[in-house]
Amino acid sequence: MQEFDSNLRKRGMMLTSGRAYGFLKEFLSNPLVAMAFIVIVLFVVMSAAPQLFTPHDPYKMEPVERLNPPGLRNLLGTDEMGRDLYTRIVYGARLTISFSVGVILIALTIGILIGGISGYCGKFIDSVIMRSTDLFLAFPMFVLAMAIVSALGRSLVNAMFALSLVWWAQYARLMRGQVLVAKQELYVHAARATGTKSHVILFRHILPNCFAPLLVKATLDISMAILLLSALSFIGLGAEPPIPEWGAIITTGRRYLIGYWWYPTFPGLAIFLVSMAFNIMGDTLGDLLDPRRIR
């Protein structure tokens, strides 16, 4: 009997790994998606270990080298302080990508908890939570984030928390809709019939079956978080100089656009590449995880 159970578990693991391999193979079969995946992996590795990509210090100033054009000595040129622009973009990847992912993770966590409770409890609790959610959705996201950062003080951390506080409502709405559908399924009624407690049903049975659309939205939203976080730095409410954050670099570089085009162009190109890559990944995930799709 034990040998039968062991063989059954091994077979289940083989089936799961086979499905995962098939999904990954189908996911990367599109050359455009494969390129986007490579771009994301490259920038993630760059943000995790920037010293592998450049030996220079992003804060080291060399006034005699100020505003040098791209060349062999400085691949992407230098800024007004003589700092190597390529090095600052490499180190800026850690700040921009990690804080943008942090925005989505915080908003996703809050949205899942609040939306799950709202959808499962229903009635008065659902009404109170959703009306509170509507208050956040009624204001333009960027304007509300600006107000929160202005109240908390200028910093990259405050910008991350401000965006999270205005973003969670979208996930709460989406999660509530998924829970309203899932709690009508037969497996939920069966769990109730066996006397399973409500919080166990919600967190063990309902929530794990509602993650697919949230995962797709989160992947798409990372690109938007990168843009909004850079925009907050661009208007002076995010990273403070001389922190090498992409939006902050563009803020200073815009004054040198005429005559020194490389200064604002290359960090802007980095934002474009990463944002586009996450958008492509999110669109493809949405197609593959669509329940109406014929497999």
Q: Which CATH number goes with the domain that contains 142?
A: 1.10.3720.10
pLDDT of the residue at 20:
54
The C-alpha atoms of residue 251 and residue 234 are separated, in whole angstroms, by 5
Q: Write down the pLDDT at residue 27.
A: 60
Residue 235 in any domain: the answer is yes
Please indicate, yes or no, if residue 293 is contained in any of the structural domains. no
Residue 159: CB atoms within 10 A of its CB come to: 28
**Residue 243: which domain range?**
2-288
- pLDDT, residue 26, reads 64
Q: Per the domain annotation, does 78 fall within a domain?
A: yes
Q: 175 in a domain, yes or no?
A: yes
Q: What is the DSSP string of 109-163?
A: HHHHHHHHHHHHH-HHHHHHHHHHHHHHHHS-HHHHHHHHHHHH-S-HHHHHHHH
- Confirm whether 29 is domain-assigned: yes
The values of phi and psi at residue 78, to 5°, are -130, 165
Helical pair 85-121 and 123-138, crossing angle rounded to 10 deg: 150
Q: Give the residue from 133, 141, 135 showing the smallest Cα distance to 175.
A: 133
Token couple for 32: 């455009």
What does pTM read for this prediction?
Answer: 0.81
C-beta neighbour count of 250 within 10 angstroms: 22
Domain membership of residue 294 (yes or no) is no
Query: Is residue 295 one of the residues assigned to a domain?
Result: no
CA–CA–CA angle 168, 23, 34 (5° rounding): 80
Count of domains forming the chain: 1
Return d(Cα 133, Cα 111) in angstroms, integer. Answer: 10
pLDDT tens digits, residue range 250-277?
888 888 888 899 999 999 999 999 999 9
**Residue 159, in any domain of the structure:** yes
Backbone region of residue 256 per phi and psi (left: phi > 0; alpha: psi in -120 to 50; beta: other values): alpha
Asked whether 242 and 59 are in contact (CB, 8 A), the reply is yes
Please give the chain's pLDDT, 295 residues, in tens: 444 344 434 444 333 455 555 556 666 677 888 888 899 999 989 888 888 898 888 888 888 888 889 988 888 999 899 899 999 999 999 888 999 999 999 999 999 889 888 888 878 888 888 888 888 888 888 888 999 998 888 888 899 999 999 999 999 998 888 888 888 888 777 877 887 787 777 778 787 777 778 888 888 898 889 889 888 888 888 887 788 888 888 888 888 888 899 999 999 999 999 999 988 888 877 767 655 554 4
* Per-residue tokens: 180: 């309203």
